[in-house]
Amino acid sequence: MRDGTMECVECGAVLVIREEQIGKLGECPRCGAAREITATMFEEGAPEEPAAKAVTTPVVPAVDWLLKRLRFLSGFTERFEIYQSVLAQLGLICILLAAAVVLTRFTVEAIQQDSMRLFVKGLGWAIAALALHYAAARFIVAGRATLQNNPQRVSLIPFLDCMGLVALLAAVAALALGIEWALALGSVVVLIAPVLAAIVWVHVMIAFLNPAETMYVQRGLRGAAAGEVAMSILAVLFRCVLVLAPVLLLLGALIGTAWMVLAMVVEWTGAATVDIGFGLGAMLVGAAGLTPLALYLAFVAFMLVADFYSAVFRIARK
């Protein structure tokens, strides 16, 4: 059997192939792009189609190796969906806890001040939290279903890899900055915000390096015009934000609820002379509960615009 070469049309890597593979799909180990192996690829070892030559240094394969290790979700779409469901469930539980905290606070104040108005106010806010809980649960599912029913193809695999690398570096930078602040101020409390930021960036990294399993993004957009490539990049960005809905829901609801409990305890015990903001925690829980709805509406609006421009591109080709 003869050996030949196949040049990946996505990343430019030159791959060694065998004659017995003719008619089968060859997958690039570097970027994962698939291409049919043909007989002409064995003629003088030349690639079937012209492609941009790969530019590399010793750093490039090292980074590629690292990114390949981080593509740990390959073939585990169902597990990622279970993970997202767990995040969403925990976030919804936090909203229920927030409703209980609000009702408790206003009930105690109503008893202390002998005011039915305060109790009714607390009951109203608790009912609003339950409605928020319901909406968040519905739109978390709707967002995931929308991604599943509208898969996306992209051609710029290096864009996904670079965004994953940037997200990884951002997560490391956030942790490093938090540690620096903690050492300078002598308090671990300042670590909370950097750690939360790092968690979000890690999820961004996972989404970009595992696009098929997280965002239903497939490689293989061929012959696309520049405008179509730009729209596919924007679509991936919107998809990534929609994938972040469960983690944003959990983090926002958890921090907001904890803040409300702390503010209530401080207020009742008189441990502080200033109000640390019960309402601020409630607003954070509200914002977290509205996040799935807001992200879903933003994604649907983008898809409407994208479909319009896709029709324009098709007409322009004809």
Are 172 and 264 within one domain?
Answer: yes
pLDDT digits (tens, 9 = 90+) for 189-232: 889 999 999 999 999 999 999 988 899 887 655 556 677 778 88
Q: How many CB atoms lie within 10 A of CB 109?
A: 16
Is residue 71 in some structural domain? no
Same domain, 84 and 13: no
Q: How confident is the model at residue 271 (pLDDT cuts 50, 70, 90)?
A: low
Q: For residue 136, name the pLDDT band (cuts at 50, 70, 90).
A: very high
Kindly report whether the global pTM for this prediction surpasses the value 0.85.
Answer: no
Give yes or no: residues 49 and 164 share one domain. Answer: no
Provide the greatest CA pair distance for the chain.
Answer: 93
Residue 62 counted as domain residue: no
**Which is higher by pLDDT, 198 or 31?**
198
pLDDT score recorded for residue 44:
44
* pLDDT per position as a tens digit, 157-173: 788 999 999 999 999 99
| pLDDT given at position 46 | 41
155 located within any domain: yes
Q: Domain limits at 21? A: 3-55
CATH of the domain at 17: 2.20.28
| Same structural domain, 232 and 289 | yes
Within a domain: 250? yes
pLDDT at 272: 57
For the chain, percent of residues with pLDDT exceeding 70:
81
Lowest-confidence range among 39-53, 234-248, 289-303?
39-53
Same domain, 104 and 157: yes
Shared domain for 168 and 20, answered yes or no, is: no
d(CA 75, CA 22): 25
**CA separation for the pair 103, 109 (Å, rounded):** 10
The total domain count for the chain is 2
Mean pLDDT of the chain: 84
- Region 47-58: what's the mean pLDDT? 58
On whether residue 131 sits in a domain, the answer given is yes
For a pLDDT cut of 90, what percent of the chain falls above it?
47
Confidence of residue 50 (pLDDT cuts 50, 70, 90): very low
pLDDT of residue 209: 92
With respect to residue 61, please indicate whether it lies within any of the assigned structural domains. no
In a domain, 13, yes or no: yes
Q: What is the spatial distance between Cα 196 and Cα 73, in angstroms, rounded to a whole number? A: 22
| Residue 285 scores a pLDDT above 80 | yes
CB 236 within 8 A of CB 160: yes
Cβ(194)–Cβ(177) below 8 Å = yes
Whether the pLDDT of residue 84 is over 50: the answer is yes
Of 55-69, 143-157, 238-252, 256-270, highest mean pLDDT: 238-252
- β-pairing, 34-36 vs 14-18, is unpaired
Q: Are residues 34 and 136 in the same domain?
A: no
Residue 246 sits in the same domain as residue 105:
yes
Residue among 270, 253, 246 nearest 99 (CA): 253
pLDDT in tens, 88-129: 999 999 999 999 999 999 999 899 888 899 899 999 999 999
Q: What pLDDT is stored for residue 310 in this prediction?
A: 75
- Which DSSP letter does residue 52 get? P
* 3-state DSSP percent of the chain in helix, strand and coil, to 5: 70, 5, 20
* Residue 63 lies inside a defined structural domain of this protein: no
Q: In this structure, are 50 and 99 located in the same domain? A: no
